[in-house]
Every structure is written in structure tokens, then in C-alpha cells.
Structure 1
Amino acid sequence: MQFNIIIEKDEDGWFVATVPSLPGCHTQAQSLDDLLERIREAIALYLDVKGTPPAEELRSFVGVQIVDVEAC
């Protein structure tokens, strides 16, 4: 199975990955290589415990957009 993951870098420089289709499935690491290994493990554990979500709950990636907003 394939899952979209979101990768961000936190204020301490750690990479953080979340899986939008699997609520609560996330991990962190200091390198991208470690992060990808860990998120694969997290997804596998999630699926072992909770099972595969129904197809209608699996989200497809659309895109990322930066939006400018003026401060009030």
C-alpha cells in the first residue's frame, strides 16, 4: 500500500512525519533517511493494530499552496 506523508521540520531541527489518512500515525527523526524508515515502521504498526482503513478514508494528495495573509 502507498500512503501520503507530510514532512515538516520543527523548531529544534527534527524532521516530523505525519500520515493524514491514519489519524495519530506520526514519528520524528534527526535525518530524512531515519524518518522514512521510522514512518514505515509506524504505518506498519498502525495497520497491525487498527487494520486497513476503508478506501473512502484514504486521502489523495492535491498540492501545497503558500497563502499570504495581512496581519490584523
Structure 2
Amino acid sequence: MSTQRTLTAAMHREEDWFVAQCLEVDIASQGQSPQEALTNLREAVELHFTEAPESRRSP
């Protein structure tokens, strides 16, 4: 079962790069264009939420 979530992205420019950050889960990514930064951020957030729950537990 797939769950949809609405998350917020903030973006700023650092020299030649655009940095996108998901504010709810403190994940960031970058790209050479705003679209690339958002695409990379989406991939990183999806990986965060599809990670196995066991790997998030403390030893």
C-alpha cells in the first residue's frame, strides 16, 4: 500500500548550485538547475521513506 505525503521544499542558490531542502525531514540535495535540485531531492526523500524500518532503529 502506498501512502502519499505532502512535504515542503525550500530552495536557495549557492554560487553555481541550487540547493533544495525538505523541511519536514531535514534532507537536502543539489543540482545545477532548480528542476535538477528538486528531482534529486525527491529521490532522496523517497529513499528515506522506503528504507527498511529495522535500519532506523538504534543498536
TM-score normalised over the length of structure 2: 0.70
Q: How many residues align?
A: 49
Give % identity. Answer: 24
Query: Once the 2 structures are TM-superposed, how far is the Cα of residue 22 of structure 1 from its aligned partner?
Result: 0.3
Gaps of 5+ in 1: 52-72
Q: TM-score, normalised by structure 1?
A: 0.59
Instruction: Please tell me whether residue 4 in structure 1 is matched to residue 19 in structure 2.
Output: no
Question: Which structure's residues are more often strand, by fraction?
Answer: 2
Give CA-to-partner distance per residue, 1:20-69, whole Å, 9 cap, x none. 1102x110000111112111101101111276xxxxxxxxxxxxxxxxxx
Runs of 5+ in structure 2 lacking a partner?
Answer: 54-59
Flag the structure with higher helix content. 2
Q: Please list every run of at least 4 consecutive aligned residues from structure 1 whose deviation after the TM superposition is greater than 6 angstroms.
A: none
